[in-house]
Chains A and B, each alone.
Chain A
Amino acid sequence: DADVTQTPRNRITKTGKRIMLECSQTKGHDRMYWYRQDPGLGLRLIYYSFDVKDINKGEISDGYSVSRQAQAKFSLSLESAIPNQTALYFCATSGSGGPVGETQYFGPGTRLLVL
């Protein structure tokens, strides 16, 4: 079984709708991240969480919110979806307590289309 899972894998929604993307991990990691990938732009960080009570904005958090329901679960919400949020979304996890430079482990991605 995959260590980092994302649901749904594909989603089509309409402008103005609220949607939630979910991420679960079985690696026992404290740190979790949400990125979006757009062609030619690489990956950009939306939100990150270093533990259940610690949530931080990334470089492109406007229009998004997150919830860390448990150590293993980190959800991303689009409160009112707009077309320029059409992208590939990735969840990632990494360990903590060690030196900086921890490897991040990625889920398979959620492809979102906002009409």
Chain B
Amino acid sequence: AQSVTQLGSHVSVSEGALVLLRCNYSSSVPPYLFWYVQYPNQGLQLLLKYTSAATLVKGINGFEAEFKKSETSFHLTKPSAHMSDAAEYFCAVSDLDRDDKIIFGKGTRLHILP
């Protein structure tokens, strides 16, 4: 079965600094990968997704992620953090063996320091 591992349940960065949230996946076939964001007291919304086209995927709010097959990684980055980026971020993989359902990681809470 496919799975994702998010490294670090909490990450703190200063406003204006680089944001890097790490995600590694396990899959025997090329996966579809997603990053979702959950703002306080809200549901999840899609940031970006990789579906085997370009390996560098650009999403909303200045975020991007790069699919690296050799490293089985799909890390999320943003060049300059903003206070409004404080949220919980979930990496997810589409489980092709299980009817296209999405398997979520445990989440990383991003804290932005003034």
Which residues of A are at the interface with B, using a C-beta cutoff of 8 A? Answer: 4, 33, 35, 40-45, 48, 50, 56, 58, 90, 92, 99-104, 106-109
Contacts and interface: CB of A to CB of B under 8 A. Distances in A.
Closest 6 CB pairs of A and B: A101-B32, A106-B43, A42-B106, A43-B104, A100-B100, A106-B44
A100 B32 CA distance: 8
B101 interface: yes
A42 B104 contact: yes
Contacts of A56: 99
A92 B46 CA distance: 12
Interface in B69-114: 90, 94, 96, 99-102, 104-107
B106 A41 contact: yes
B9 A104 contact: no
B102 A104 contact: yes
A48 to B, nearest CB: 6
A101 B100 CA distance: 7
Interface of B: 9, 32, 34, 41-46, 49, 51, 90, 94, 96, 99-102, 104-107
A48 B101 contact: yes
A69 to B, nearest CB: 21
B47 to A, nearest CB: 11
B52 to A, nearest CB: 8
Nearest to B33: A101
A107 B90 CA distance: 16
Contacts of A35: 104
A13 B46 CA distance: 32
14 contacts: A40-B107, A42-B90, A43-B44, A43-B104, A45-B101, A50-B99, A92-B43, A101-B49, A104-B46, A104-B102, A106-B44, A108-B43, A109-B42, A109-B43
A13 to B, nearest CB: 21
Contacts of A104: 44, 46, 102
Contacts of B101: 33, 45, 48, 58
Given A4-B43, A58-B101, 5 more contacts: A35-B104, A101-B34, A101-B51, A106-B45, A108-B43
